[in-house]
Amino acid sequence: MEMISENPIDPAAMYELVANKSSGSVVFHYAVVKEQLSQDKTTSGIEYQTAGDTVAELREIAAELKEKWKLEDVLLVRRIGSLRVGDIISLIAASSPNSEDAFASCRHGISRMKKMATIRKNEMYG
C-alpha cells in the first residue's frame, strides 16, 4: 500500500495495515525531521511538496521491494506540507515470514525514498 498524507502518521494505525497472521517479522522505519545547524541557522522544520506523480513513484519502490525479497506486504507513506522538528516525514514497513527479508527490504526502501524525484523540500529556519 502506498499513501501520501498531509496528516500526522499514526504508528498504531500503520501497524494494523501491514501486519498479518503469516508474518513472523514486521519491520518499521520512520524518517523524522531533525534539527540541523547550517550557516549559523537552526532548522525549525521542512516544507515538503509533491512535484509529479508521487504515488506512482511509491508504487515503483514497493514493486521493487516485493520483487527482490519474500514479503507479505509493504507499506510506504510519505508526508507533505509543513513539518516541524520531531515530526515523522515518511514510513516504510515490511512484513515477511522472516526477519532477514523484512530488514533488508526496509533498508533498501529507505535508500530509495530518500532519493524520490517527485518530492521537493524547503528547509525552514527559526
Q: What is the pLDDT of residues 55-87, one digit of tens each?
A: 999 999 999 999 999 999 999 999 999 999 999
Number of domains in the chain: 1
Confidence check: pLDDT of 21 > 80: no
User: Quick one: which of 91, 97, 100 has its CA closest to 21?
Assistant: 97
Confidence check: pLDDT of 20 > 80: no
Domain membership of residue 112 as a residue range: 2-125
* CATH number of the domain to which 21 belongs: 3.90.1170.40
Give, in degrees to the nearest 5, the angle at Cα 12 between 44 and 18: 110
